[in-house]
Amino acid sequence: MSEVKTNKISSLASNNNITIDPDGTGKVAFSSDITMTSDDPTITMTDSSGTNDIATIQATSGALIITARDGSADGEIIFKKTDGSTTDETMRVDSTGKLLIGTTSQLFGQGVLQVKSNGAENIARFQAAANGESIVFENASGSSVGFIQVNASATSFSTSSDYRLKTQVTYDWDATTRLKQLKPARFKWIADGDDAEFVDGFIAHELTAVPDAISGKGKDAVDDDGNPVLQGVDQSKLVPLLVKTIIELEARITALEAE
C-alpha cells in the first residue's frame, strides 16, 4: 500500500517496498530525469525467461559498476549501436573477462584484449604471456605476422619471416646500386620547437629504392577533410639492403685482394 503526497510516493507496507505494475502490456514511462539518492544506488534488471539472469548498474564511491550474471555463471557485458532499424555490436566483455572489439567471439585462445577491424587482415591481441607482455598481430588464417614483446630486460619487435608465407624467392639482386640511391639526411623535428637538435634519418617519399619501407598514401596526401596523411618509414625494411650491400662489397674486396 502506498500514498501520494504532492511530489512524493511513500510506502505504507511493512517491507517499505513500492511496486509499480502497469495493467496489461503497458510500460512505466518517465517524462523527465530519474534521480536516485541512497547508499550505493542500484538498478537491478532480471530476465524472467532465465534463472538468475541478472544485470545491475550501481554507483558507489564515485565509480559506476555494471554487473552481469548468467544463471550460476559469469555474464557478458555487450555494447551495441543502432540507427533505428539496424543494430550492430561494437564491443563486449565476455564471460572470461576478455575485451573484444569488432568481434562477437574470441579470435584467439589468449589475449586479454582482442581487436578485429572490418578488414579480415587486421587482427590484433594484447596478452599477458609467460614470455612477457605482448601485442600479437595475426592474419585472417590465424598465422602470426608480427609481435611486440616486453620482458624484464628489453623490448623486441618481430615480423613473421617463415618461408611458407613467401613465394618467388630470389637471392640474385643488386643491393649496392639501390643503396647508393638512398638519401640519408640531417634534420630537426618541427614539433621540438626552437630547442630542436639535428637528427639523422630519411625523408619518407625519397625512399624510392625501397618503396615497401614507405607507409602512407604518398607525398602530400590528405584525407577527405583535407587533413595531412603523414608518411612513415619502416626502418627494418632497410636492413636486408644493408646486409646484401656488405656481402657484395666484401666479395669485391676479396676479388681485388686476390689479384
pTM for this model (two decimals): 0.56
pLDDT of residue 59: 94
Using one digit for the tens of pLDDT, what is the confidence trace for 114-159? 776 655 555 666 665 555 657 777 766 666 777 777 776 677 777 7
The mean pLDDT of 151-171, rounded to a whole number, is: 82
* Burial classification of residue 100, based on how many CB atoms lie within 10 Å of its CB (0-12 exposed, 13-18 middle, 19 or more buried): buried
CA distance 205 to 26: 65
Using one digit for the tens of pLDDT, what is the confidence trace for 195-246? 999 999 999 999 999 999 998 888 999 988 899 999 999 988 999 999 999 9
The residue from 30, 53, 74 where one domain ends is: 74
Three-state secondary-structure class, residue 188: coil
Quick one: 248 and 229 in the same domain? yes
Measure the N-to-C terminal CA separation of the chain; round to a whole number of Å: 111
Quick one: 146 and 198 in the same domain? no
- Does 140 reside within a domain? yes
In whole angstroms, what separates CA 241 from the centre of its chain? 32
Could you give the number of structural domains in the chain?
3
- Does 169 reside within a domain? no
pLDDT of residue 256: 94
- Does 170 reside within a domain? no
The residue from 74, 97, 132 where one domain ends is: 74
| In the predicted structure, residue 26 carries a pLDDT above the cut 70 | yes
pLDDT of residue 140: 66
Read off the pLDDT band of 5 (50, 70, 90): low
The residue from 162, 184, 217 where one domain ends is: 162
Using one digit for the tens of pLDDT, what is the confidence trace for 73-110? 999 999 999 999 999 888 898 898 888 887 787 766 66
Supply 47's cell numbers: 530476465
Residue 197 corresponds to which amino acid?
A: E
Quick one: 63 and 87 in the same domain? no
In whole angstroms, what separates CA 17 from the centre of its chain? 45
pLDDT of residue 176: 95
Higher pLDDT, 180 or 31: 180
Three-state secondary-structure class, residue 129: strand
pLDDT of residue 2: 52
The mean pLDDT of 46-62, rounded to a whole number, is: 90
- Does 167 reside within a domain? no
Quick one: 63 and 88 in the same domain? no
pLDDT of residue 103: 79
pLDDT of residue 132: 62
pLDDT of residue 13: 76
- Does 144 reside within a domain? yes
What length does the chain have? 259
pLDDT of residue 187: 96
pLDDT of residue 110: 62
Quick one: 101 and 157 in the same domain? yes
Beta strand residue intervals within 180-253, DSSP E: 185-187, 199-201, 214-215, 232-233
**Residue 135 · residue 147 · CB < 8 Å:** yes
- Does 254 reside within a domain? yes
Quick one: 117 and 82 in the same domain? yes
- Give the domain extent around 215: 175-258
